[in-house]
Structure 1
């Protein structure tokens, strides 16, 4: 680093005392320059790379964090667990510092040693969370031994959203998704794990541990579902447009109450139920990856996400529950079935392979 010291002439060349002062200044400044402490140029802002779901980190929320910490945050959103896995598994891809994932995905990432233990003592806003979310070792999938790898952030069940103008009585069973009366007016989520779990629940089977011999029959059920649906959606905004455009009667709501809020905000007369077979439910958490080079900043991000102003804004904007306060009951939409928290499945690769064949149009006799 080159240093130029400029002298301003005052009354000629200056007095001996002034020359002595300047030499003393140089003696002080040169070590600062050599150690990089002299602010000759602005330091580049650290970059925090976040893999997230839609609505978890809106631009204005991110901007406050960036200003507060003098950092740059890059948000990448995903629309399914399949996409999330692919992005984290790509060794040539972006090295994410943080990921938002449900507890079943967190458990997989922990087993594959892709996550770093959280410095929970550096996340003071955890003290604001509801008691059940502070008992971290009691939440399946997020802890191993004495280490905690993820911090709960938001959750929802995957209920059924239905058009009250077309279906006057709330549907009691997920069988409504296969009902031929609604052919072309059904929406379902494009996700292999949830798709097979849904079909298993439809048949009264355990959703996360499907016997090998049952994959064929369940794949045929999903082909029948494919023939009944108008479309498989990925993002909640996409489901809103499809619901409105095609006069949808019923939808399996992967984003649960987030989608319910969007449809109601759009003026649609919709109801929401948990069917008698139960509803899959997810608990999304923030986790820091082992590839992160910004662990301290990532920890600040998690603490910021748990700030009451941020968590409550998530609920206000997205309709999703936060971990700081109990969700408000939905008037007139009493859940009927049980909540089934997501767990790791028996063979995610097999589910994904079969799901792609189902979507591509394979006939039932091919399974």
Structure 2
């Protein structure tokens, strides 16, 4: 009888330890509860002080994880292994996630600071009525360049990059939509073109750029451009701002043929365990003072019009990063092209990269 009691107690103790272990493991993997919030964002995309401030104000502990591509982020949410409460995808990815039922509708009543967002950046085609997303940052894709390294030439057009004088002087970001978009725009086509002939023509024109391309890189493009390892770079506007802060000799331009107007927005994935906390976090990030501090730290453009008066004027008046409404109307937002079309973009981009070798 005593052996049975001991065995029973041993089973109870082991079970308790297993439950504790599973609970700890879930917490480490981002499983959220009422007092925990798991945020999934791009790298270097929030002022760490603001996470601490949110925790102090709400009593909610934040688990913060990062991703380096929309595709990686979406795959992890599709798999459902981690309970992310807030994620920050780009516009075309929001459209895909919405189609696949991966997002929870937002309760606008819990986000009163939504009123601070500029109406230009609301109710866009990838999320009509902002049912699922709230703008976080926005910007453009363009050319950062060092005039002193290219005989003080002024770049204004994508087609300027094909100048033979720029041999081995160009760095490209490693993105299919961005690089293929540059090729399409240089030919007068849309960034969202799905015409096979147009896409092949863009790829063939990119092949002609090969002698001028020094490398296709990731985040290191900021360090390389700031250190003058190359004269010209295809970059996102926020990266250009960082580069120019490190090296005042550089300039940034959105080419005359057109370019991408992109948005990263906050969403609540289907994996969320703390939906109320997610709404609190989104509303916190839309507070004017919080948004201003975050924007100065990140260097991308804020859609929060109430934050602009709280920021340095030399930052908000710089039309390279806060272009006029007239110019933004000429830019294109990436559309969800569908799996087959996106696969073709990626295939052509890979062929271009292989052509360089």
TM-score (norm 2): 0.78
List gaps (5 residues or longer) in structure 2: 1-32, 309-314
Contact 1:81 1:191 in 2 (8 A): no
- The alignment's C-alpha RMSD in Å is 2.8
Q: Conserved in 1, the CA contact under 8 Å of 2:144 and 2:233?
A: yes
What's the counterpart of residue 335 of structure 2?
343
Q: Which moved more, 1:305-314 or 1:337-346?
A: 337-346
Q: Which has the higher helix share?
A: 2
Find the aligned partners of 1:340 and 1:208 in 2 and give their Cα distance.
Answer: 8
State the Cα distance separating 1:261 from its structure 2 match: 2.4
Against the structure 1 CA distance between its residues 88 and 231, is the aligned structure 2 distance closer, same or farther, given a 3 Å change threshold? Answer: farther
Whole-angstrom CA distance in 2 between matches of 1:303 and 1:286: 10
Residues 154-163 or 176-185, more deviating: 176-185
Question: C-alpha separation between the residues in 1 aligned to 2:47 and 2:73?
Answer: 19
* Corresponding residue of 2:266: 286
CA distance in 2, matches of 1:120, 1:87: 26
Q: Pick from 141, 161, 167: which aligns with 2:126? A: 141
Say if 1:261 and 1:318, in contact at 8 Å, map to a contact too.
no
From 310, 315, 318, give the equivalent of 2:298.
Answer: 318
* Cα distance in structure 2, aligned partners of 1:358 and 1:78: 25
User: Which of 225, 248, 255 does residue 243 from structure 1 map onto?
Assistant: 225
Structure 1 residue 107 corresponds to structure 2 residue 95: yes
* Maintained 8 Å contact 1:79/1:234: no
Q: Say whether residues 1:252 and 2:244 are aligned partners.
A: no
Q: Which of 171, 176, 181 is the equivalent residue of 2:160?
A: 176
2:350 is matched with which residue? 356
Partner of 2:13: none
Conserved in 2, the CA contact under 8 Å of 1:281 and 1:341? yes
Relative to structure 1, the CA distance from residue 98 to residue 331 in structure 2 (aligned partners, 3 Å threshold; closer, same or farther) is closer
Cα distance in 2 for partners of 1:276, 1:265 equals 24
Once the two structures are superposed, residues 118-152 of structure 1 have per-residue CA deviations (whole angstroms, 9 ceiling, x without a partner) of: 0111011112233434xx4x3211137xx711011
Q: Count matched residues.
A: 311
More deviation, 224-233/108-117 = 224-233
Mark the CA change 1:299 to 1:151 in structure 2 (over 3 Å): closer, same or farther.
same
Distance 1:116 1:331 in 2: 35
Structure-to-structure mapping, 1:157-196, within 5 angstroms: 157-167=140-150, 168-196=152-180
Secondary structure of the corresponding residue to residue 292 of structure 2: helix
Asked if 1:55 corresponds to 2:39, the answer is no
Which residue of the other structure, out of 263, 272, 277, is the alignment partner of 2:257? 277
Structural mapping, 1:7-156, within 5 Å: 46-89=35-78, 91=79, 93-133=81-121, 136=122, 138-143=123-128, 148-156=131-139
**After alignment, is 71-80 or 185-194 more displaced?**
71-80
Which has the larger Rg? Answer: 1
TM-score calculated relative to the size of structure 1:
0.76
Residue 56 of structure 1 deviates from its aligned partner by 2.5
Of residues 187-196 and 347-356 in structure 1, the stretch that sits farther from structure 2 once superposed is: 347-356
Deviates more, 1:263-272 or 1:216-225: 216-225
